[in-house]
Amino acid sequence: MANIRKIVFFIFLLIVGQVYCQTTKLVENRIVGTWQKDSKIIGSGLAQYFRFFSNDKFVFKTSSFEDARMLNALKGNYKLKDNKLFFKITSKIINNGNVEIGEPGFEPLFQMDGKLKKVVIKHPKTIDCEIKFISDEHIVINNENYYKVSNNPNF
């Protein structure tokens, strides 16, 4: 009789562990995709956005409408745990070009000439921020709204 109780208890633990792992994976998979800051609407280009991949990689890209920014993108790994999002930034893409005057009426007043440079971060640190899932298509990362524009992070 004692052996049956042990077997039943062991099976119970396996089932609870399986359900926990599946639930955790579902929550982690909710973030996979392309998330744009402040709007679901895509114009002639994406505003600031994140791409979260199922292999725990991410890309953060600044707005394509802000040409005078030095930072173009961040890349690395992420981990989602409870209401925290952990980032380990392994590289950044910076605009290493010269500042120019944009074409009147078509471009911002100041822009960079587009010479991008990848900088590998040799000893990346893990940084974290808060994340809230408002819906399957709306998240808040450190009080900034992001909307899912695609389930495909390669969008």
pLDDT band at 85 (very low <50, low <70, confident <90, very high): very high
- As a whole number of angstroms, the distance between CA 113 and CA 65 comes to 14
Domains of the chain are: 31-150 (2.40.128)
118-137: per-residue pLDDT in tens?
A: 999 999 999 999 999 999 99
Residue 25 reports pLDDT greater than 60:
no
Band (pLDDT 50/70/90 cuts) for residue 23 is: very low
User: Is 107 a residue whose pLDDT tops 80?
Assistant: no
For the segment 29-79, what is each residue's pLDDT rounded down to a tens digit? Answer: 899 999 999 998 887 678 899 999 999 999 999 986 666 678 889 999 999
